[in-house]
Structure 1
C-alpha cells in the first residue's frame, strides 16, 4: 500500500504524539503540523480508509499495527538521510534536520534503500546480511554503529 508523502507526515506525527503523550488528538496534530483541524480530519479519514488508523469522530485516534509500521518506516527514512548529511557530509545539526526532512519527502524507496546501504557500510555498521529494504524491519537488528548513533 502506498500513501502520499503528505499522509506519511501525518502518520509520523501521530506516532510521535502517541509516544510522547500517550494519546493522539486532532488539536495536537494540527498544532504540531501547523495546519487546520479540518485538514487533520481529512487526513485521518484517508488514513483510516487505508487501514492505518482507527478513530471515532470526536473520539479516540489509534494507529493500527500497519500504521505503526508505516510511521517507523518514515522515521527511519529521515534518520538515514540525517546520518548521511551529518556524519558523511558534516553538515551542521540544525541545517541537517531541515534538509533531511526535505530530501526524505522526495526520495523513492529504491533510492533510499541504496542510500541506507551506503550509509551503513560507510559508517561501519556490521553484519549487513539482511539485504536491507526500507519496507522490511530486519535491518533494525543487523548491527549497530561503533558510535552512539542508532537507526
Structure 2
C-alpha cells in the first residue's frame, strides 16, 4: 500500500509516460513542486515496491505493476472530477479531487463510479438534479 505522497509521484510518472519517452527527476520535481532529493527518495521507495525501474541518474520506467496502478490513479482522479461536475460542486474540480482521492475507500470509489455511470446513462435524472440544484442557489 502506497502513501498518498507516493501515489502522487506514481500518478505523475504515469502521466508523463503517456507523452514522453523519458521521464526525468526534474520533470517530476517541477510538476509536484518538490525538491530533487525528495523525488529521488520517493523513486527509490517506488522501485523497492516494484512500481518502477530506476537507478540514480538513470531513466524512470514503469513496471507492469506501476503502469497498471498508475492507470488506476489517473482514472480515479478523472472519475472524482467528473463526479464533482455531476453534483454541481462549485469548487476547483482538480484541487478537490486531489484532496478526496487518497482518503476514500475502494468501496466508496466504486459506489461513486456506479453513480456517475447511472447519471450518464439517465440524462433525465441528471437534468432533474441540475434543475433541483439551480433552485438551491
Counterparts of 2:3 and 2:95, CA distance in 1: 20
1:61 matches 2:56: no
Structure 1 gap ranges (5+): 126-151
CA RMSD of aligned residues (A): 1.5
Q: Which runs of 4+ in 1 moved over 2 A?
A: none
State the TM-score, normalizing by the size of structure 2.
Answer: 0.83
Larger relative contact order (Cα-Cα within 8 Å, sequence gap ≥ 6) = 2
Rg larger for = 2
* Matching residue of 2:50: 51
1:41 matches 2:46: no
Which residue of 89, 105, 115 maps to 2:87? 89
Deviation at 1:42, TM superposition (A): 0.7
* Matches for 1:18-29 after TM superposition, within 5 Å: 18-29=17-28
SS at structure 2 position matched to 1:31: helix
Aligned pairs, number: 122
SS at structure 2 position matched to 1:99: helix
1:17 matches 2:16: yes
* Matches for 1:95-134 after TM superposition, within 5 Å: 95-124=92-121
Counterparts of 1:96 and 1:11, CA distance in 2: 20
State the TM-score, normalizing by the size of structure 1.
Answer: 0.76
Deviation at 1:48, TM superposition (A): 0.6
Structure 2 gap ranges (5+): 123-137
* Matching residue of 1:134: none
1:67-103 per-residue CA deviation (whole Å, 9 max, x = no partner) reads 01011111111111111111x22235x7112111111
Instruction: Kindly indicate which of the two structures has a greater share of residues assigned to helix.
Output: 2
Counterparts of 2:68 and 2:9, CA distance in 1: 14
Counterparts of 2:105 and 2:20, CA distance in 1: 31
Counterparts of 1:96 and 1:37, CA distance in 2: 28
